[in-house]
Amino acid sequence: MVQKIATQLLLSALDFGASDVYILPTEETFSISFRHSASRKHYAVLSESVGQSLISHFKFIAGMNVGEKRRTQLGSCSYVIAAQTLRVRLSTVGDFQNNESLVLRILPKEDQPLLFWIETDLLDVLSLIDRRGLYLFSGPVGSGKTTLMNHIAKEKFFERQVITIEDPVELVSPEFLQLQLNETIGNTYDNLIKLSLRHMPDLVIVGEIRDQETARAVIRASLTGYTVFSTVHARSISGVYARLLELGIDSSELTNALSGIVYQRLIGGKGVLTYADKNFLNHTAQTWHNKIERLVKSGGISSDVASSEKNTRQTTSQTDDFDA
């Protein structure tokens, strides 16, 4: 029964074009909803027992600790439905009453094409990757940072040694050597980065810079002469630079290590990119504004959408310079 509910849930999520599925506890029930870009849609309400069984089902498939309902857990799995295989990332946590919640991220297919409003955006970013050093990718949740990063890796490092370090592995790429964090056996970001460098890679991809330890390890690797890709949660190109300074990275080391920053955002189902290869801290919004205006003139987006984008940027710019 639970497997049937899980299958129907994922099929409905695909029909909606959802990037995320939320299974959240309420009073004696579980509420399920879908997210697509900025839109959210209620899907169903399940009884407490069925909702908890559904969460346990997904955790079991992902090899997570089914009995642990309090601590945060991350996992991923491949789920076969309707003759197709979905890659799903899982995140669970219990609230103060030990009621468990689950968020499923439906990862894009390996062969899913990258769509951009401005076709030259991708070519411009590919040309940006022209020397060794650290390249950082940023953008909102679900904006395709990991997909873009992997695509560029395959284009620029075809038939070369690429090592990825992720928590968990999101997109399975047989052409890469993919390592996954497991702190129980000592496979931390820092240790895996050190290990990967002994393999003399042409490119190291670190899934995400989350803390000072990872940031320092990434900087050390790039200063040693390796090419490193990673993602950072920030709302702007200048915000990425500032975030690393907040994590304790010396500004002179960061300047020497950093070769480029790419910011991506999905608008109306297609990506818009902006990037910089210098003067990161003082990067301005003008290029982004020009691209938004260009999309309005070409009929790609409405003036209302453009206004919303600009208003969002003006609001966030007070705290983080600019969201682009």
Residue where a domain terminates, one of 83, 106, 129: 106
Q: Report yes or no: 103 and 91 within 8 Å, Cβ to Cβ.
A: yes
Same domain, yes or no: 155 and 295: yes
Residue at 111 is within a domain: no
Q: Report how many domains make up the chain.
A: 2
- Predicted TM-score (pTM) of this structure: 0.80
Confidence (pLDDT) at 210: 87
Q: Are 169 and 304 contained in the same domain?
A: yes
Looking at 106, 137, 165, the residue that finishes a domain is 106
Domain that holds residue 66: 2-106
d(CA 262, CA 89): 24
User: Is residue 312 located within the same domain as residue 169?
Assistant: yes
Q: Supply the pLDDT for residue 107.
A: 85
Would you say residue 142 lies in a domain?
A: yes
Task: Report yes or no: 59 and 73 within 8 Å, Cβ to Cβ.
Answer: yes
Residue 69 and residue 214 in one domain: no
How far is it, in rounded angstroms, from Cα 73 to Cα 216?
24
Q: Residue 44 class from Cβ within 10 Å (0-12 exposed, 13-18 middle, 19+ buried)?
A: middle
Instruction: State whether 91 and 136 are in the same domain.
Output: no
324 residues of the chain, pLDDT tens digit each: 899 999 999 999 999 989 899 999 998 999 999 998 778 999 999 999 999 999 999 999 999 999 998 889 989 899 988 888 889 999 999 998 889 999 999 987 766 678 888 889 999 999 999 899 999 999 887 788 888 998 999 999 999 999 999 888 888 888 999 998 888 888 888 899 989 999 999 999 998 898 998 899 899 999 999 999 999 988 889 999 999 999 999 999 999 999 999 999 888 778 889 999 999 988 887 888 888 899 999 888 888 888 777 665 434 443 344 344
Structure tokens at 13: 């999520």
- Tell me, what's the pLDDT at 222? 93
Query: Hey, what's the torsion of the CAs at 56, 60, 66, 72, to 10 degrees?
Result: -90
Q: How far is CA 59 from the centre of its chain?
A: 21
* Cis amide leading into 168 (omega within 30): yes
Tell whether 96 and 177 lie within a shared domain.
no
| Separation CA 1–CA 110 (nearest Å) | 30
Asked if 178 and 255 sit in the same domain, the reply is yes
Distance CA 255, CA 235 (A): 20
Residue 323, pLDDT score: 43
Shared-domain flag, residues 164 and 301: yes
C-alpha 206/C-alpha 13 separation (Å) is 29
Residue identified by tokens 């090419």 is 227
CA distance from start to end of the chain: 46
C-alpha 108, offset from chain centre: 11
Same domain, 146 and 251: yes
Residues 101 and 130 placed together within one structural domain of the fold: no
Burial class from Cβ neighbours inside 10 Å (0-12, 13-18, 19+) for residue 53 reads middle
Q: How open is the CA angle 97-102-105, to the nearest 5 degrees? A: 155
Is 100 in the same domain as 202? no
In the prediction, which pLDDT does 111 show? 62
